[in-house]
Amino acid sequence: MIRFSGITPSGHATLGNHLGAIRRWAREGGPGDLYFVSDLHGMTSAYHPQRLRVRARELLATLVAAGIEADQVFVQSDLLPQLGTLTWILECTCSFGEAARMTQFKEKSARRELEATPVRVGLFTYPVLMAADILLQGADEVPVGDDQAQHVELARTLARRFNGTFGEAFVVPAAVTPPAAARVRDLANPARKMDKSARDAVGVLYVMDEPDLLRRKIKRAVTDGLGRLEFRPDEQPGLANLLEILAACTGKPARDVPAEYSSYAELKEAVAEAVIEELRPVRERTKELLDDGVELDRIRARGAELAAERSAHRLATARRLAGVG
Ligand code: TRP
Protein backbone atom coordinates (compact mmCIF):
# COMPACT_ATOMS: atom_id res chain seq x y z
CA MET A 1 0.00 0.00 0.00
CA ILE A 2 1.45 3.34 -1.03
CA ARG A 3 0.34 6.34 0.98
CA PHE A 4 1.54 9.50 -0.67
CA SER A 5 1.58 13.19 0.16
CA GLY A 6 3.52 16.36 -0.48
CA ILE A 7 4.35 19.68 1.11
CA THR A 8 5.10 22.87 -0.82
CA PRO A 9 8.14 24.98 0.14
CA SER A 10 6.23 28.25 -0.17
CA GLY A 11 7.84 29.26 3.13
CA HIS A 12 9.63 27.70 6.09
CA ALA A 13 7.80 24.80 7.75
CA THR A 14 5.57 25.91 10.62
CA LEU A 15 4.42 24.25 13.82
CA GLY A 16 1.11 23.70 12.00
CA ASN A 17 2.87 21.79 9.21
CA HIS A 18 4.78 19.80 11.80
CA LEU A 19 1.77 18.78 13.91
CA GLY A 20 -0.71 18.42 11.07
CA ALA A 21 1.40 16.70 8.43
CA ILE A 22 5.10 16.04 8.98
CA ARG A 23 4.97 14.50 12.46
CA ARG A 24 1.99 12.46 11.45
CA TRP A 25 3.68 11.11 8.33
CA ALA A 26 6.67 10.13 10.45
CA ARG A 27 4.53 8.44 13.12
CA GLU A 28 1.84 6.79 11.05
CA GLY A 29 3.69 6.05 7.85
CA GLY A 30 4.07 2.49 6.60
CA PRO A 31 7.01 1.01 4.72
CA GLY A 32 5.48 1.65 1.26
CA ASP A 33 4.70 5.33 1.88
CA LEU A 34 6.20 8.21 -0.01
CA TYR A 35 6.43 11.87 0.94
CA PHE A 36 7.83 14.64 -1.16
CA VAL A 37 8.70 18.31 -1.31
CA SER A 38 6.49 19.83 -4.01
CA ASP A 39 8.79 22.63 -5.10
CA LEU A 40 7.23 22.85 -8.58
CA HIS A 41 4.02 23.87 -6.85
CA GLY A 42 5.86 26.81 -5.33
CA MET A 43 6.13 28.49 -8.73
CA THR A 44 2.49 29.37 -9.34
CA SER A 45 2.89 32.90 -7.98
CA ALA A 46 5.80 35.32 -7.90
CA TYR A 47 8.75 33.59 -6.26
CA HIS A 48 12.46 33.91 -5.75
CA PRO A 49 14.43 31.06 -7.44
CA GLN A 50 17.29 30.90 -4.95
CA ARG A 51 14.88 31.02 -2.01
CA LEU A 52 12.81 28.21 -3.51
CA ARG A 53 15.92 26.07 -3.86
CA VAL A 54 17.06 26.69 -0.29
CA ARG A 55 13.61 26.09 1.17
CA ALA A 56 13.11 22.87 -0.76
CA ARG A 57 16.39 21.58 0.63
CA GLU A 58 15.53 22.68 4.15
CA LEU A 59 12.14 21.01 3.94
CA LEU A 60 13.66 17.76 2.70
CA ALA A 61 16.03 17.85 5.68
CA THR A 62 13.09 18.53 8.02
CA LEU A 63 11.09 15.54 6.72
CA VAL A 64 14.04 13.27 7.43
CA ALA A 65 14.79 14.98 10.75
CA ALA A 66 11.20 14.39 11.86
CA GLY A 67 11.71 10.68 11.40
CA ILE A 68 10.45 9.85 7.92
CA GLU A 69 12.67 7.13 6.42
CA ALA A 70 15.32 8.61 4.12
CA ASP A 71 14.40 6.30 1.24
CA GLN A 72 10.75 7.38 1.39
CA VAL A 73 11.28 11.06 0.58
CA PHE A 74 12.10 12.93 -2.61
CA VAL A 75 12.05 16.36 -4.18
CA GLN A 76 9.47 16.87 -6.92
CA SER A 77 11.67 18.80 -9.34
CA ASP A 78 14.10 15.86 -9.49
CA LEU A 79 11.34 14.17 -11.49
CA LEU A 80 10.62 17.14 -13.71
CA PRO A 81 11.11 15.28 -17.04
CA GLN A 82 8.66 12.54 -16.03
CA LEU A 83 6.16 14.93 -14.46
CA GLY A 84 6.29 17.32 -17.41
CA THR A 85 5.50 14.43 -19.72
CA LEU A 86 2.64 13.06 -17.67
CA THR A 87 1.18 16.49 -16.90
CA TRP A 88 0.85 17.19 -20.62
CA ILE A 89 -0.80 13.84 -21.27
CA LEU A 90 -3.25 14.43 -18.43
CA GLU A 91 -3.93 18.04 -19.43
CA CYS A 92 -5.12 16.62 -22.73
CA THR A 93 -7.69 14.49 -20.89
CA CYS A 94 -8.89 17.22 -18.51
CA SER A 95 -11.57 19.67 -19.60
CA PHE A 96 -11.22 23.40 -19.12
CA GLY A 97 -14.43 23.35 -17.07
CA GLU A 98 -13.07 20.73 -14.68
CA ALA A 99 -9.96 22.75 -13.97
CA ALA A 100 -11.95 25.98 -13.71
CA ARG A 101 -14.20 24.46 -11.04
CA MET A 102 -11.34 24.01 -8.56
CA THR A 103 -12.21 26.06 -5.48
CA GLN A 104 -8.60 26.85 -4.66
CA PHE A 105 -8.05 28.23 -8.14
CA LYS A 106 -11.20 30.32 -7.95
CA GLU A 107 -10.21 31.77 -4.59
CA LYS A 108 -6.58 32.42 -5.43
CA SER A 109 -7.26 33.86 -8.86
CA ALA A 110 -9.97 36.16 -7.44
CA ARG A 111 -7.49 37.40 -4.86
CA ARG A 112 -4.81 38.01 -7.49
CA GLU A 113 -7.25 39.94 -9.61
CA LEU A 114 -8.12 42.15 -6.65
CA GLU A 115 -4.42 42.81 -6.12
CA ALA A 116 -3.98 43.37 -9.87
CA THR A 117 -1.30 40.67 -10.08
CA PRO A 118 -1.37 38.32 -13.07
CA VAL A 119 -2.97 34.89 -12.68
CA ARG A 120 -0.46 32.41 -14.06
CA VAL A 121 -1.52 29.53 -16.27
CA GLY A 122 0.47 27.36 -13.86
CA LEU A 123 -1.98 28.26 -11.10
CA PHE A 124 -4.77 26.99 -13.32
CA THR A 125 -3.07 23.72 -14.30
CA TYR A 126 -1.57 23.05 -10.85
CA PRO A 127 -4.20 20.40 -9.97
CA VAL A 128 -3.23 18.46 -13.11
CA LEU A 129 0.42 18.50 -12.04
CA MET A 130 -0.79 17.27 -8.66
CA ALA A 131 -2.67 14.45 -10.42
CA ALA A 132 0.55 13.62 -12.26
CA ASP A 133 2.44 13.48 -8.93
CA ILE A 134 -0.08 11.04 -7.56
CA LEU A 135 -0.63 8.85 -10.63
CA LEU A 136 3.04 8.66 -11.57
CA GLN A 137 3.90 6.98 -8.25
CA GLY A 138 0.89 4.66 -8.27
CA ALA A 139 -0.38 6.01 -4.95
CA ASP A 140 -3.23 4.08 -3.30
CA GLU A 141 -4.06 6.67 -0.66
CA VAL A 142 -3.45 10.39 -0.52
CA PRO A 143 -3.86 11.93 2.94
CA VAL A 144 -4.49 15.67 2.56
CA GLY A 145 -6.22 18.53 4.32
CA ASP A 146 -9.76 19.50 3.28
CA ASP A 147 -8.43 22.21 0.97
CA GLN A 148 -6.72 19.59 -1.22
CA ALA A 149 -9.45 16.94 -1.29
CA GLN A 150 -11.00 18.35 -4.47
CA HIS A 151 -7.64 18.09 -6.22
CA VAL A 152 -7.32 14.43 -5.25
CA GLU A 153 -10.85 13.91 -6.56
CA LEU A 154 -9.70 15.35 -9.90
CA ALA A 155 -6.77 12.92 -9.91
CA ARG A 156 -9.26 10.06 -9.43
CA THR A 157 -11.41 11.33 -12.29
CA LEU A 158 -8.44 11.67 -14.64
CA ALA A 159 -7.10 8.21 -13.72
CA ARG A 160 -10.46 6.57 -14.40
CA ARG A 161 -10.89 8.49 -17.62
CA PHE A 162 -7.45 7.61 -18.93
CA ASN A 163 -7.87 3.93 -18.00
CA GLY A 164 -11.32 3.85 -19.63
CA THR A 165 -10.33 5.69 -22.79
CA PHE A 166 -6.85 4.39 -23.57
CA GLY A 167 -6.35 1.33 -21.36
CA GLU A 168 -5.23 0.50 -17.83
CA ALA A 169 -2.25 2.56 -16.80
CA PHE A 170 -3.10 4.07 -13.42
CA VAL A 171 -4.09 3.12 -9.90
CA VAL A 172 -7.21 5.10 -8.92
CA PRO A 173 -6.14 6.74 -5.65
CA ALA A 174 -8.35 7.26 -2.61
CA ALA A 175 -8.46 10.63 -0.89
CA VAL A 176 -8.24 10.37 2.86
CA THR A 177 -8.76 13.42 5.01
CA PRO A 178 -7.58 12.45 8.46
CA PRO A 179 -9.24 14.38 11.29
CA ALA A 180 -7.16 17.46 12.07
CA ALA A 181 -4.52 16.67 14.70
CA ALA A 182 -4.61 20.29 15.71
CA ARG A 183 -6.03 23.25 13.90
CA VAL A 184 -3.12 25.55 14.52
CA ARG A 185 -4.04 29.22 14.08
CA ASP A 186 -1.87 32.32 13.70
CA LEU A 187 -0.99 33.49 17.23
CA ALA A 188 -1.45 37.15 16.32
CA ASN A 189 -4.71 36.57 14.47
CA PRO A 190 -6.49 33.34 15.42
CA ALA A 191 -9.04 33.89 12.63
CA ARG A 192 -6.28 32.85 10.22
CA LYS A 193 -4.59 29.49 10.02
CA MET A 194 -0.86 29.43 10.76
CA ASP A 195 0.45 29.85 7.23
CA LYS A 196 4.03 29.28 6.10
CA SER A 197 3.63 31.91 3.40
CA ALA A 198 2.22 34.58 5.75
CA ARG A 199 3.86 37.96 5.22
CA ASP A 200 3.86 38.82 8.87
CA ALA A 201 5.67 36.22 10.97
CA VAL A 202 4.92 37.49 14.52
CA GLY A 203 2.14 34.97 14.95
CA VAL A 204 3.79 32.11 13.07
CA LEU A 205 5.96 29.53 14.87
CA TYR A 206 8.54 28.00 12.54
CA VAL A 207 10.15 24.62 13.06
CA MET A 208 13.55 26.27 12.68
CA ASP A 209 12.91 29.15 15.14
CA GLU A 210 15.33 29.23 18.07
CA PRO A 211 13.77 28.56 21.52
CA ASP A 212 13.99 32.22 22.60
CA LEU A 213 12.11 33.37 19.56
CA LEU A 214 9.42 30.72 20.02
CA ARG A 215 9.00 31.81 23.63
CA ARG A 216 8.71 35.48 22.68
CA LYS A 217 6.11 34.82 20.00
CA ILE A 218 4.03 32.65 22.34
CA LYS A 219 4.17 35.27 25.14
CA ARG A 220 2.78 37.82 22.72
CA ALA A 221 -0.03 35.57 21.46
CA VAL A 222 -3.40 37.31 21.33
CA THR A 223 -5.86 36.08 23.99
CA ASP A 224 -8.79 38.00 25.51
CA GLY A 225 -9.75 40.01 28.56
CA LEU A 226 -12.14 37.43 29.99
CA GLY A 227 -9.61 35.70 32.22
CA ARG A 228 -11.55 32.43 31.86
CA LEU A 229 -9.40 29.37 31.41
CA GLU A 230 -11.75 27.23 29.35
CA PHE A 231 -11.64 25.60 25.96
CA ARG A 232 -14.19 27.65 24.01
CA PRO A 233 -12.96 28.03 20.41
CA ASP A 234 -15.85 30.30 19.32
CA GLU A 235 -15.72 32.74 22.23
CA GLN A 236 -11.99 32.59 23.02
CA PRO A 237 -10.23 31.59 19.78
CA GLY A 238 -6.76 32.77 20.80
CA LEU A 239 -6.83 30.89 24.08
CA ALA A 240 -8.33 27.80 22.42
CA ASN A 241 -5.49 27.85 19.90
CA LEU A 242 -2.91 27.80 22.71
CA LEU A 243 -4.77 24.95 24.38
CA GLU A 244 -4.87 22.99 21.12
CA ILE A 245 -1.17 23.49 20.58
CA LEU A 246 -0.34 22.36 24.10
CA ALA A 247 -2.68 19.40 23.75
CA ALA A 248 -1.10 18.32 20.46
CA CYS A 249 2.40 18.57 21.94
CA THR A 250 1.55 16.67 25.11
CA GLY A 251 -0.98 14.19 23.73
CA LYS A 252 -3.83 15.28 26.00
CA PRO A 253 -7.31 16.40 24.89
CA ALA A 254 -7.50 20.21 24.64
CA ARG A 255 -10.54 20.31 26.95
CA ASP A 256 -8.57 18.77 29.81
CA VAL A 257 -5.68 21.20 29.68
CA PRO A 258 -7.20 24.33 31.36
CA ALA A 259 -7.66 22.63 34.74
CA GLU A 260 -3.90 22.52 35.20
CA TYR A 261 -3.30 26.28 35.00
CA SER A 262 -4.43 29.29 36.94
CA SER A 263 -3.53 32.15 34.59
CA TYR A 264 -2.98 32.90 30.92
CA ALA A 265 0.65 33.72 31.68
CA GLU A 266 1.21 30.37 33.33
CA LEU A 267 -0.46 28.60 30.41
CA LYS A 268 1.69 30.48 27.89
CA GLU A 269 4.80 29.45 29.79
CA ALA A 270 3.72 25.81 29.54
CA VAL A 271 2.89 26.15 25.84
CA ALA A 272 6.32 27.66 25.19
CA GLU A 273 8.09 24.82 27.00
CA ALA A 274 6.07 22.15 25.19
CA VAL A 275 6.59 23.68 21.75
CA ILE A 276 10.31 24.19 22.34
CA GLU A 277 10.74 20.55 23.40
CA GLU A 278 8.56 19.27 20.57
CA LEU A 279 10.57 21.10 17.93
CA ARG A 280 14.04 20.89 19.45
CA PRO A 281 15.07 17.47 18.08
CA VAL A 282 13.67 18.25 14.63
CA ARG A 283 15.41 21.62 14.44
CA GLU A 284 18.72 20.23 15.66
CA ARG A 285 18.67 17.27 13.27
CA THR A 286 17.59 19.49 10.35
CA LYS A 287 20.55 21.75 11.09
CA GLU A 288 22.96 18.82 11.19
CA LEU A 289 21.71 17.58 7.84
CA LEU A 290 21.97 21.05 6.30
CA ASP A 291 25.49 21.50 7.69
CA ASP A 292 26.69 18.12 6.44
CA GLY A 293 25.56 18.65 2.86
CA VAL A 294 27.00 15.32 1.73
CA GLU A 295 24.52 13.14 3.58
CA LEU A 296 21.58 15.28 2.46
CA ASP A 297 22.76 15.19 -1.15
CA ARG A 298 22.98 11.42 -0.93
CA ILE A 299 19.46 11.15 0.52
CA ARG A 300 18.12 13.43 -2.16
CA ALA A 301 19.80 11.58 -5.04
CA ARG A 302 18.66 8.20 -3.71
CA GLY A 303 15.07 9.43 -3.27
CA ALA A 304 15.02 10.72 -6.83
CA GLU A 305 16.42 7.46 -8.16
CA LEU A 306 13.87 5.33 -6.32
CA ALA A 307 10.96 7.54 -7.36
CA ALA A 308 12.11 7.46 -10.99
CA GLU A 309 12.53 3.68 -10.93
CA ARG A 310 9.15 3.17 -9.33
CA SER A 311 7.41 5.23 -11.99
CA ALA A 312 9.31 4.28 -15.15
CA HIS A 313 7.12 1.38 -16.19
CA ARG A 314 3.86 3.24 -15.52
CA LEU A 315 4.99 6.28 -17.48
CA ALA A 316 6.10 4.13 -20.41
CA THR A 317 2.71 2.38 -20.41
CA ALA A 318 0.83 5.69 -20.30
CA ARG A 319 2.88 7.09 -23.19
CA ARG A 320 2.38 3.99 -25.29
CA LEU A 321 -1.38 3.91 -24.65
CA ALA A 322 -1.66 7.65 -25.36
CA GLY A 323 0.09 7.16 -28.70
CA VAL A 324 3.25 9.09 -27.85
CA GLY A 325 5.80 6.48 -26.95
N1 TRP B 1 -0.85 20.80 -3.34
C2 TRP B 1 -0.47 20.27 -2.05
C3 TRP B 1 -0.49 21.40 -1.04
O4 TRP B 1 -0.38 22.55 -1.41
C5 TRP B 1 0.89 19.65 -2.09
C6 TRP B 1 0.91 18.55 -3.09
C7 TRP B 1 1.42 18.63 -4.35
C8 TRP B 1 0.41 17.24 -2.93
N9 TRP B 1 1.27 17.44 -4.99
C10 TRP B 1 0.66 16.57 -4.16
C11 TRP B 1 -0.22 16.57 -1.89
C12 TRP B 1 0.26 15.26 -4.35
C13 TRP B 1 -0.61 15.25 -2.09
C14 TRP B 1 -0.36 14.60 -3.32
O15 TRP B 1 -0.63 21.16 0.13
Task: Read off the pLDDT of residues 251-263 as tens digits, 9 standing for 90 and up.
Answer: 999 999 999 999 9
Whether residue 310 sits in one domain with residue 272: no
Q: Is the pLDDT of residue 223 over 80?
A: yes
Q: Domain range for residue 251? A: 211-287
Substitution site in 25, 86, 126, 130 for ligand 1 pocket (most atoms within 8 Å of beta carbon): 130
Provide mean pLDDT across the span 191-218.
95
Q: Would you say residue 248 has pLDDT above 90?
A: yes
pLDDT tens digits for range 112-163: 999 999 999 999 999 999 999 999 999 999 999 888 999 999 999 999 999 9
Indicate if 245 and 130 belong to the same structural domain.
no
List, chain by chain if needed, residues with CB within 6 Å of any ligand 1 atom. 4-6, 8, 38, 41, 130, 133-134, 142, 144, 148
Report, as residue numbers or ranges, the catalytic residues: 108, 193, 196
Asked if residue 196 belongs to a domain, the reply is no
Q: Confirm whether 283 is domain-assigned.
A: yes
Closest CA to ligand 1's atom 8: 6
Closest CA to ligand 1's atom 15: 7
Q: How confident is the model at residue 183 (pLDDT cuts 50, 70, 90)?
A: confident
In a domain, 48, yes or no: yes
Residue 7 C-alpha to ligand 1 middle, in angstroms?
A: 6
151 domain residue, yes or no: yes
pLDDT averaged over the chain? 96
Q: How far is the CA of 129 from the centre of ligand 1 (A)?
A: 9
CATH of the domain at 40: 3.40.50.620
Kindly report, residue by residue over 39-52, the tens digit of the pLDDT: 999 999 999 999 99
pLDDT band, very low/low/confident/very high, at 228 (cuts 50, 70, 90) = very high
Same domain, 168 and 136: yes
Domain count, the chain: 2
- Give yes or no: residues 229 and 306 share one domain: no
Quick check: is 201 in a domain?
A: no
What does the pLDDT read at residue 146? 87
Q: Give yes or no: residues 299 and 264 share one domain.
A: no
3-state secondary structure the chain: CCEEEEECCCCCCEHHHHHHHHHHHHHHCCCCCEEEECHHHHHCCCCCHHHHHHHHHHHHHHHHHCCCCHHHEEEHHHHHHHHHHHHHHHHCCCCHHHHHCCHHHHHHHHHHHHCCCCCCHHHHHHHHHHHHHHHHCCCCEEECCHHHHHHHHHHHHHHHHHHHHHCCCCCCCEEECCCCCCCCECCCCCCCECCCCCCCCCCCCECCCCHHHHHHHHHCCCCCCCCCCCCCCCCCHHHHHHHHHHHHHHCCCHHHCHHHCCCHHHHHHHHHHHHHHHHHHHHHHHHHHHHCHHHHHHHHHHHHHHHHHHHHHHHHHHHHHHCCC
**Whole-model pTM above 0.85?**
yes
Average pLDDT over residues 220-232: 96
Q: Judge if 28 and 130 occupy the same domain.
A: yes
Closest Cα to atom 4 of ligand 1? 8
Closest C-alpha to ligand 1, atom 9: 130
On whether both 58 and 168 belong to a single domain, the answer is: yes
| Mean pLDDT to the nearest integer, 19-33 | 93
175: in domain: yes
- We report the CATH number of the domain holding residue 273 as 1.10.240.10
Atom of ligand 1 nearest to the CA of 145: 15
Same domain, 274 and 298: no
197 occurs within a structural domain: no
Question: Is the pLDDT confidence value at 181 over 70?
Answer: no
Whether 45 maps to a domain, the answer reads yes
Q: How confident is the model at residue 175 (pLDDT cuts 50, 70, 90)?
A: confident
pLDDT at 178: 79
User: Which tens digits make up the pLDDT trace of 60-89?
Assistant: 999 999 999 999 999 999 999 999 999 999
Residues 55 and 176 in one domain: yes
Q: What pLDDT does residue 179 have?
A: 77
Q: What is the pLDDT of residues 163-174, one digit of tens each?
A: 999 999 999 999
